[in-house]
Each structure stands twice: as C-alpha cells, then as structure tokens.
Amino acid sequence: MLRWKQSLTTHIKSLAESSWLKFTTGIVLLTSGLDEAMETLFADISALELGAHHGVMVLGFVNILSSLPDMLDGLTGTFLSDDEEEVEHAEDDSGDFSRQQEGSPPEPPEVEFKKAA
C-alpha cells in the first residue's frame, strides 16, 4: 500500500511540474482573460480599474514564460544531438572518401599473437 501511495505521489508531482501542462494552462488563462478584457483593456489599465480578468491574463502570461525555458532546453537538446550525429557521419564518410582517393587499401587492424606454451 505504501509503494502505491509513493508511486501515485510521484506521478502527480511529475504531472504538476510538466512544462507542457504549464504552457497549455497559460494559453487557456491568457486567451480567456483577453476575451474578457479585449474591449476595455487599455481604458481599464489607464484608469487603474483592474479586475479578475486582468489577473488571469497576468497569471497566464507568467505560466507561459515559466514553461518556455524547459521546453526550449528540450528542443535544443533534440536539435543538437541530431547535429552531432550528422557531424560524426560526415567525418566518417570523409575519412573513407580520402582513403579511396589515395588508392591505398584500408589498413588492417593490429592483431596480437600469443605464443603457445
């Protein structure tokens, strides 16, 4: 029973800290706040008549901003690993090409022979 509770707690924490959930929540909050305040946004701000919809917009904006670094780190890591693989393959291919250009056969691997006793 204790293991089940720990597993459930771990899954709930990972869901609550999910960047994609924060981003989606931020988009929903920002769009719903903008929908409420669209007609009178500038008049309300200039007259300092702030309502709940203005707070919802700020909360949505903060959620979006807080989720972006983790999302961009993930995307950057994905693109960098792809670029590194391409560079490694290019180096391997260029080495084979230079050997073919030289006309020499590939070097055999060094083998060590042990003397039988």
Question: Residue-wise over 31-57: b if at least 16 C-beta within 10 A, else e?
Answer: eebeebbeeeeeeeeeeeeeeebbebb
The model's pTM: 0.54
Enumerate the domain spans of the chain.
Answer: 16-101
Predicted confidence (pLDDT) per residue in 37-84, tens digit: 888 877 877 888 878 888 888 899 999 998 888 888 877 766 766 656
